[in-house]
Structure 1
Amino acid sequence: MSQSALRTTPVETAGVADRQAPRLHRRAADVAERSWRPVALLVVCFAAWWLIAATELVQPYLVPSPGRTLDVILDKPDYLWQHTWVTTYETLLGFVIAVAVGIFSAVVMVYSSTVEKTLYPILLFAQVVPKIAIAPLFVVWLGFGIAPKILIAVLIAFFPVVISMVTGLKAVDPEMLQLSATMGASPWQTFRKIRFPASLPHLFSGLKVAVTLAVTGAVVGEFVGANEGLGYVILQANGNLDTPMLFAGLLVMSLIGVVLFVLVEIAEKVFLPWHASRRDVAATTAY
């Protein structure tokens, strides 16, 4: 290696380090800026919870203290983990099926007006019907296994996915579609290069809603008929007036939804770094 290269290497390395340091500080500041408000709100909520329990404004058997709830979680970690894993598995499987079927249905509806006019009212009717009302039918038809829980999770998570995907596919600039047709692009090339990428921001908005609803669907299925899962834990605790365990199950269930929501947001940042909502500096205008 030449002497000139040896002389420039430390300088270049220092320059890279100098450029990376502000970026790390800026990212840390951005994370802190986005996080302190929800963290502060959670602290206030837990403080209010503790105050209500400490002053006995509500009887302890109705609202246990945060400390008692935490003790239950720490005393029975294996028990809660076993049921948490069951609910998480049902949620993820139902969510994946809902995404696959929802995207396929949306594509078919966009490319066929006949299918859209036929299928859309049925989808709306299925969404309006309360899932808790038809959940016992699924248990009768499919038994007490995992199938009814997954089916309810799919039905609840499906609607946001298909609606957001249809909206995204229809929101493409018509001039872009005309340009692709003029240049001789096939329908598949137009879909792959224009329609699908343009629909991703809408799709991820629907996925954030769907993944949290999938947790609710799995737990609702467990309420109706199950011998494992967080829904089963909550139902048993309610029947035994074990409110600390009931609150522990609710906290863990909420944590599952939050974690899955964050994972979808991370996926959105990975796949949509170009979108305006994902830029570090967003342009805002006040009128």
Structure 2
Amino acid sequence: MKRINPAIISITIFFGFWELLGRYINKGYILPTPLNIIKKIWFLKESIFITHLPTTLSIAVISLIITIILGILLASSMDFNRTIYNFIHPIIVTSQTIPITALAPIFILWFGYSIWSKVIVSVIISFFPVTITLYNGLQNIQRDEFNYFKSLGASRTQIFFKLKVPRALPNFFSALKMSIPLVLIGSAIGEWLGSTSGLGYFSKRMMSQLDGAGVFAPIVIISLLAIILVQIVTILENIILSWRNK
């Protein structure tokens, strides 16, 4: 409760200020109040939760799986060989300097309005922190530990799986918690740039109607979904890595 109470107080102050500011401006298409957003979500609940939310979730889940697999492969490869690191790392960094809005139309041209154009956008946004965080975790071993394993005759594979992987598990969960909001954001961006369904598409449609509450409604849902999923991962992390507290 000592940890929860400050969060409740800060959230209450934030939304209270938002409500008062929205009422003061009194222009819903510019800044809708939280109460109006909640009313809009309830009024359009069937369209949002039955039609658009499943589309965004399916894109996010596929993107998250690909992001994790790609991040593990790239991080392991860079850890395995310095030459591979020197070859891959600049490409990974460069991929984050290209505006995703410039690439999205190309992906739509290649894959049309199918789910894969949105998945690629989401993966490009989310794989970088997973790869780098996991790589840093694999590198986070003491020289004495490495020498001890070598003195016992451990092979390179045994060192990787019995020393480096356990050391990198906290980083893996940190990367997972970072990637969840990113894949949700990437899914929404992909839908915004070109889609016929999904929360991003819904927000874009509401914007064309100057419906501020409708624009904010998917944002609120995505934020709440990200918070819930991150908390689930945190619970799993505490269970799996319970040895940290001993």
Question: Which TM-score band (shorter chain)?
Answer: over 0.9
For 1:1-287, list aligned pairs within 5 A.
32-54=1-23, 56-81=24-49, 82-275=51-244, 279=245
For 2:159 and 2:180, locate their aligned partners in 1 and report how far apart those are by CA, in whole Å.
29
For 1:63 and 1:78, locate their aligned partners in 2 and report how far apart those are by CA, in whole Å.
24
For 1:263 and 1:130, locate their aligned partners in 2 and report how far apart those are by CA, in whole Å.
31
Contact 2:25 2:31 in 1 (8 A): no
For 1:186 and 1:114, locate their aligned partners in 2 and report how far apart those are by CA, in whole Å.
20
Q: Bigger shift: 217-226 or 57-66?
A: 57-66
For 1:236 and 1:146, locate their aligned partners in 2 and report how far apart those are by CA, in whole Å.
19
5+ residue gaps, structure 1, are 1-31, 281-287
For 1:66 and 1:113, locate their aligned partners in 2 and report how far apart those are by CA, in whole Å.
51
Which residue type is aligned with residue 76 of structure 1?
Answer: L
Deviation at 1:53, TM superposition (A): 2.9
For 2:39 and 2:130, locate their aligned partners in 1 and report how far apart those are by CA, in whole Å.
39
**Which contiguous aligned blocks of 4+ residues in structure 1 show a shift greater than 3 angstroms?**
none
Which residue type is aligned with residue 131 of structure 1?
Answer: I
SS in 1 for 2:210: coil
CA deviations on 1:226-264 (whole Å, 9 max, x unpaired) are: 011110011000011111211211111111221222122
CA deviations on 1:80-123 (whole Å, 9 max, x unpaired) are: 11211211221121011111111111111111111110110000
Larger radius of gyration: 1
For 2:192 and 2:61, locate their aligned partners in 1 and report how far apart those are by CA, in whole Å.
18
Aligned residues: 245
Contact 2:28 2:213 in 1 (8 A): no
Deviation at 1:58, TM superposition (A): 4.2
For 1:79 and 1:242, locate their aligned partners in 2 and report how far apart those are by CA, in whole Å.
15
Contact 2:53 2:198 in 1 (8 A): yes
For 1:71 and 1:259, locate their aligned partners in 2 and report how far apart those are by CA, in whole Å.
21
Contact 1:160 1:207 in 2 (8 A): no
SS in 2 for 1:212: helix
For 1:154 and 1:146, locate their aligned partners in 2 and report how far apart those are by CA, in whole Å.
12
SS in 2 for 1:106: helix
For 1:39 and 1:132, locate their aligned partners in 2 and report how far apart those are by CA, in whole Å.
36
Deviation at 1:61, TM superposition (A): 2.9
TM-score (norm 2): 0.94
Matched-pair identity in %: 29
Contact 1:160 1:210 in 2 (8 A): yes
For 2:151 and 2:33, locate their aligned partners in 1 and report how far apart those are by CA, in whole Å.
67
Q: Flag the 1:260–1:132 CA change in 2: closer, same or farther, 3 A.
A: farther
